[in-house]
Amino acid sequence: MRIKLMITLIISGLILLTGFHRMGVDRIMLRMESRSLQRGQAATIQAELLYQSFDGKMITVFDEPLNQVMITNQQGELSVYNPEDNTVYRRQSIEYSSENNLVYFFLQGNTRDLGLRSLGFTQTRTDFNDGLMVTRWMPPASIGHLFSYIELVHEDYMPIYAGYYDAGQKLVKKVYYSNYEMFPEIMLPMTITEFNYLPGGDSIVNQVKFSDVYINRHAVSKWFDFEIPDDARIID
């Protein structure tokens, strides 16, 4: 249960670290704090995130009390290693891939549509209001049962909001990108706030904050070379 909760909280944080190669970033490391709130229950996870573009491997080193290491790659292979008892939890799914997310396209420099066009979405509307550009994107037929459309809002050519509407045109998810900072190679939103609206009126709020960003030659850590021991015991 603790592993599944950790994966749920961390997944929004993982998406920030992908797609750097085109932006001149070969490796990056930063601090992340993820806070989740549901039904009055709050959970906080802090970790160090590391990513290198040449092999697409992403490493997340969790602080106490978790004391675990999560590794994902481009193929969607996920491993969570516990050094205390030398065990590893493994799963594989495209959702875990270090390249399967909207922010991947954002960091590739594709801020215009956050990768929606490459996923088969079609832009059907553009409006301008008080300096903001609002675009509407219709999904391909293959996922029309999931979304009726997605709305993006840009300010100064940078995305600040994404709204997801289900097949019944009900708003089910909102994502805010804020607190942008400019680094020598890239510009990053240092805060990502996500609202997921569940059936029955409940919701899950997750906010991820980033700090202590180090890029390329400044990103130095033993964790870049970490490998899970071959004798680690696999658990479910």
The arithmetic mean of pLDDT across residues 105-126, rounded, is 79
pLDDT band at 196 (very low <50, low <70, confident <90, very high): very high
Q: Is the peptide bond before 65 cis (omega within 30 degrees of 0)?
A: yes
State residue 17's pLDDT score: 52
Note whether 201 and 19 are within 8 A (CB): no
Q: Are 80 and 3 in contact (CB under 8 A)?
A: yes
Geometric angle at alpha carbon 120, from 119 and 125, rounded to 5°: 115
Confidence of residue 223 (pLDDT cuts 50, 70, 90): very high
pLDDT score of 212: 95
Structure tokens at 60: 């997340």
Beta-carbon count within 10 A of 125 CB: 11
Question: What's residue 135's pLDDT?
Answer: 97
List C-alpha distances in Å: 209 to 91, 100, 187: 26, 20, 15
CA distance 127 to 138: 15
Long-range contacts of 144-151 (CB under 8 A, 24+ apart): 149/124, 150/116, 150/121
| pLDDT at residue number 72 | 85
**Minimum mean pLDDT among 74-78, 187-191, 204-208, 224-228: which range?**
74-78
pLDDT digits (tens, 9 = 90+) for 45-75: 899 988 888 887 889 899 876 789 999 887 8
- CA-based nearest residue to 213, from 11, 16, 15: 16
Q: Which two tokens stand for residue 77?
A: 């292979």
Q: How confident is the model at residue 102 (pLDDT cuts 50, 70, 90)?
A: very low
Give the chain's domains with CATH numbers. Answer: 2-235 (2.50.20)
Task: Report whether pLDDT(224) > 70.
Answer: yes
What pLDDT does residue 101 have? Answer: 47
* pLDDT over 80 at 110, yes or no: no
Residue 180 Rama label (left phi>0; alpha psi -120 to 50; beta)? beta
Stretch 132-159: mean pLDDT: 94
The DSSP symbol for 110 reads -
pLDDT at residue 98 above 70?
no
Tens of pLDDT, residues 160-184 = 999 999 999 999 999 999 999 988 7
